[in-house]
Amino acid sequence: MSWHVLGAGSLGSLWATRLFRAGVPVQLILRDPQRLASYRQVSGLTLIEQGQTSVYPIAAADLSDQTPITRLLLACKAYDAAEAVAAVAHRMAPGAEVVLLQNGLGSQEEVSALLPGKRCLVASTTEGAFRDGDWQVVFAGQGHTWLGDPADNTPPAWLSDLERGQIPYTWSPDILARLWHKLALNCAINPLTVLYGCRNGGLMPHHEEVDALCAELVQLLISCGYAQAAEQLHGDVWRVIEATAANYSSMYQDVASGRRTEISYLLGYARTAAERSGLQLPALQSVYQRLLEHLDAHGLPRY
Ligand SMILES: NC(=O)C1=CN([C@@H]2O[C@H](COP(=O)(O)OP(=O)(O)OC[C@H]3O[C@@H](n4cnc5c(N)ncnc54)[C@H](OP(=O)(O)O)[C@@H]3O)[C@@H](O)[C@H]2O)C=CC1
Ligand SMILES: CC(C)(CO)C(=O)C(=O)O
């Protein structure tokens, strides 16, 4: 059975190339005829990994293709996920499954609502990749991917495709806790790196501000039922800041490149959840407001 990859950007290409080279059938779904024409001008997707460049001639079609889809990897940004899935929803075969690679929370619910009766699995990854030009992706950071299904803990049969593709993964019975923990970590680090214009390690002098955010995010995790994730949060935030001190956060990179951020699916989602729980989180609120002002000043969307 073939994988369809919707969102042939950094992570989508990283998955597609590894599946393809392991002999797993895979095809790309590109957004329109122009993108398809652009792809056809090159010989395939290029993966640059540990200084080695390889080109993989992966089949592609645009959204007008009507081939049924049985396994879909959705690798768009969180804010594009629902619209992208809506364009292929009618092609989903009975029993089709979808893997959602989006960061943050909120997009998963938007997508599931568009695919009633279809299994939507969610993923959280620490792998890192970036686009180094059109149809060319750099595998920048080895990592690990956790996959799970909040509605059904039975591992899917196709996990063996990931083994064939040497995509390191763990089937996770508590994937929502993992996504919440990652969301909290991103809320504690990413906005401050944008506001201070610094690498992750540049937050070390802002210890008090990071700690105040962590304390509020711990309250939020507990009130949402993720006490274990809450326990680890503070230590993990500082471990990540130290381990990735030389890196720029993804939100910093988005803003620096004039790209839309995933703010609604990170801080926005956290604020809404706090409101629902009746929690006052002043440090989070203040960072959110300052971030909105920063986005305004840079002409970037507030959502
Ligand atoms: N990159 C990374 O290292 C990591 C990313 N993530 C998360 O993974 C998700 C994907 O990120 P990333 O791969 O970096 O994003 P990219 O921007 O590199 O890729 C997104 C892709 O989605 C495509 N796309 C968007 N809308 C549509 C549509 N309607 N139809 C078809 N294609 C569409 C874009 O197409 P086009 O090329 O035409 O613009 C683009 O190729 C994000 O939520 C991100 O936070 C998480 C961990 C690490
Ligand atoms: C862990 C962290 C903060 C690393 O930069 C990240 O996930 C991101 O930048 O989005």
Q: What is the DSSP string of 85-147?
A: HHTTGGGEEEEEEEEE--SSSSHHHHHHHHSTTSEEEEEEE--EEEESSTTEEEEEE---EEE
CATH number at residue 235: 1.10.1040.10
Kindly state if the Cβ of 13 falls inside 6 Å of ligand 2: no
Number of folded domains that form the chain: 2
Residues 216 and 198 in one domain: yes
Tell me, in angstroms, the distance from the centre of ligand 1 to residue 218's CA: 29
What confidence tens digit (pLDDT) does each residue in 276-301 have?
Answer: 999 999 999 999 999 999 999 999 99
CATH number at residue 83: 3.40.50.720
pLDDT for res 184: 98
Residues 77 and 53 in one domain: yes
Going through the chain in order, the beta strands assigned E by DSSP cover 3-6, 26-30, 45-49, 52-56, 59-62, 69-74, 92-100, 119-125, 128-131, 136-141, 145-148, 169-171
Out of 203, 217, 250, mutate this one to test ligand 2's pocket (max ligand atoms within 8 Å of CB): namely: 250
Query: Tokens 């005829």 — which residue?
Result: 33
> What is the number of the ligand 1 atom nearest to the C-alpha of 12?
13
- Mean per-residue pLDDT over the chain, rounded: 97
Residues 62 and 103 in one domain: yes
- Which percentage of the chain shows pLDDT scores above 90? 99
Kindly state if the Cβ of 194 falls inside 6 Å of ligand 2: no
258: left (phi over 0), alpha (psi -120 to 50) or beta: left
Q: Which of 124, 151, 172 finishes a domain?
A: 172
Q: Which of 182, 189, 274, 295 is catalytic?
A: 182
Q: How far apart are the first and last CA of the chain?
A: 37
Residues 18 and 167 in one domain: yes
Domain contains 94: yes
Residues constituting the chain: 303
Q: Which of 154, 172, 190 finishes a domain?
A: 172
Of 14-18, 44-48, 125-129, 217-221, minimum mean pLDDT range: 125-129
Domain contains 303: no
The answer to whether residue 77 is catalytic is no
What is d(CA 165, CA 13) in angstroms, rounded to the nearest whole number? Answer: 13
Q: Which of 25, 30, 24 is nearest to 12 (CA)?
A: 30
Measured from the alpha carbon of residue 102, the closest ligand is 1
Residues 114 and 38 in one domain: yes
Residues 122 and 245 in one domain: no
Domain contains 260: yes
Residues 72 and 88 in one domain: yes
Average pLDDT, integer, range 226-233 = 97
pLDDT-derived band of residue 54, with 50, 70 and 90 as boundaries?
very high
Domain contains 37: yes
Residues 50 and 18 in one domain: yes
Residues 166 and 181 in one domain: no
pLDDT for res 100: 98
Domain contains 61: yes
Average pLDDT, integer, range 189-212 = 98
Kindly state if the Cβ of 188 falls inside 6 Å of ligand 2: no
Q: Which of 152, 172, 192 finishes a domain?
A: 172
Domain contains 118: yes
pLDDT for res 95: 95
Tell me, in angstroms, the distance from the centre of ligand 1 to residue 133's CA: 14
Residue 15 corresponds to which amino acid? W
pLDDT-derived band of residue 28, with 50, 70 and 90 as boundaries?
very high
> What is the number of the ligand 2 atom nearest to the C-alpha of 126?
7
pLDDT for res 283: 98
Nearest CA to ligand 2 atom 7: 186
Average pLDDT, integer, range 264-275 = 98
Residues 62 and 147 in one domain: yes
pLDDT-derived band of residue 94, with 50, 70 and 90 as boundaries?
very high
Average pLDDT, integer, range 241-258 = 96
pLDDT for res 168: 98
What confidence tens digit (pLDDT) does each residue in 139-193 have?
Answer: 998 999 999 999 999 999 999 999 999 999 999 999 999 999 999 999 999 999 9
What is d(CA 131, CA 137) in angstroms, rounded to the nearest whole number? Answer: 4
Query: Domain span at residue 219?
Result: 177-298
Residues 168 and 182 in one domain: no
In sequence order, which residues have a C-beta less than 8 Å from that of residue 216 and are 6 or more positions away?
279, 281, 282, 283, 284
The total of other beta-carbon atoms located within 10 Å of residue 230's CB is 22
Find out whether 131 and 253 touch, Cβ atoms under 8 Å.
no
Tell me, in angstroms, the distance from the centre of ligand 2 to residue 18's CA: 23
What confidence tens digit (pLDDT) does each residue in 60-70 have?
Answer: 999 999 999 99
Kindly state if the Cβ of 134 falls inside 6 Å of ligand 1: no
Residues 161 and 232 in one domain: no
pTM (whole model) above 0.80? yes
